[in-house]
């Protein structure tokens, strides 16, 4: 009796579904352009920013048109090719950082996507950073190098979109918007907390605070700086 490869079947069905959706709802121009690009076409710019008293590392510059297309394709269309490109970009940085941590500490290492509130997740249908982390090499997900988890940190308030707010309102908007669901998981661990775009740093800073209170060592990463 032939054994069915469910993983391959699911991948085929998802591909057919995506092609059908593209046929009846043509993708946005930024996604069309992104689908034509490879990793070599994406300009990288590793940078550290001191924002609101915290250090945030970014790996791309949102002002570059290729990066802007990439992030918009990921965030608004949930494009799988965009997610894979972002995963390749961020995995290079993570590989070096994790190797450095493991030289000096045996502590567990977790990679956590910035969580969406369940209302936002339900309306959008996906968390764009979760898509990226799902595309990371297996060693970053299975505990070999690190473990990806979206269970430790939750969003407790459905906050207004940051892009529509002035700087000071962005800061106050995010206060108390996150909580650690399972403190024991992250206690004394090293956490890489990842978002797509940072502007003032308010969102990442707010999300990091409950992790720090749970005694985690936190590295803040955004794919790009706007």
Is 171 within a domain?
yes
pLDDT score recorded for residue 157: 87
Residue 108: inside a domain, yes or no?
A: yes
In a domain, 185, yes or no: yes
218: left (phi over 0), alpha (psi -120 to 50) or beta: beta
Arithmetic mean of pLDDT, 99-125: 93
Q: Counting Cβ atoms within 10 Å, is residue 204 exposed (0-12), middle (13-18) or buried (19+)?
A: buried
More confident residue, 161 or 213: 213
> Cα(202)–Cα(204) distance, rounded to whole angstroms?
6
CA distance 210 to 152: 10
In three-state secondary structure terms, 175 is: coil
> By C-alpha distance, which of 65, 64, 71, 118 is closest to 90?
71
What CATH number is given to the structural domain containing 52? Answer: 3.40.50
Number of domains in the chain: 1
Residue 19: its pLDDT value, please? Answer: 53
Residue 2 maps to a domain: no
Closest by CA to 195, choosing from 111, 105, 100, 84, is 111
Question: Rounded to the nearest 5 degrees, what angle is found at the Cα of 95, between the Cα atoms of 90 and 97?
Answer: 95
- What pTM, to 2 d.p., does this model score? 0.85
Q: Which two tokens stand for residue 186?
A: 């992250």
Residue 89 counted as domain residue: yes
Residue among 151, 120, 117, 118 at smallest CA distance from 133: 151
In-domain check, residue 121: yes
Q: What is the pLDDT of residues 70-111, one digit of tens each?
A: 999 999 999 999 999 999 999 999 999 999 999 989 999 999
Query: Is 53 inside any structural domain?
Result: yes
Token pair in block for residue 75: 């965030």
Full residue range of the structural domain in which residue 40 is found: 7-225
CB 69, CB 33: distance < 8 Å: yes
pLDDT category of residue 21 using cuts at 50, 70 and 90: very low
Task: Tell me if 46 is assigned to some domain.
Answer: yes
- Give dist(CA 200, CA 171) in Å, integer: 8
Question: Quick one: tokens of 166?
Answer: 């002035």
Residue 25 is predicted with a pLDDT of 61
């Amino acid at each position: 009796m032939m054994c069915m490869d469910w993983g391959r079947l699911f991948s085929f069905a998802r591909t057919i579904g995506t092609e059908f959706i593209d046929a009846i709802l043509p993708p946005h121009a930024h996604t069309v352009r992104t689908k034509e690009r490879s990793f070599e076409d994406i300009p990288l710019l590793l940078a550290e920013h001191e924002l609101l008293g915290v250090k945030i590392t970014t790996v791309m510059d949102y002002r570059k048109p290729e990066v802007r297309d990439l992030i918009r394709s990921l965030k608004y269309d949930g494009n799988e090719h965009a997610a894979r490109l972002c995963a390749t970009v961020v995995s290079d940085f993570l590989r070096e950082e994790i190797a450095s941590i493991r030289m000096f500490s045996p502590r567990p290492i977790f990679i956590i996507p910035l969580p969406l509130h369940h209302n936002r997740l339900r309306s959008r249908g996906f968390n764009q950073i979760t898509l990226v982390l799902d595309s990371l090499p297996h060693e970053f997900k299975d505990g070999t190098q690190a473990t990806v988890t979206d269970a430790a940190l939750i969003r407790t308030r459905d906050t207004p979109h940051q892009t529509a707010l002035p700087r000071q309102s962005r800061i106050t908007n995010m206060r108390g918007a996150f909580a650690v669901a399972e403190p024991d998981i992250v206690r004394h661990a090293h956490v890489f907390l990842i978002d797509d775009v940072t502007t003032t740093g308010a969102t990442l800073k707010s999300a990091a605070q409950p992790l720090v209170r749970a005694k985690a060592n936190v590295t803040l990463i955004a794919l790009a700086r706007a």
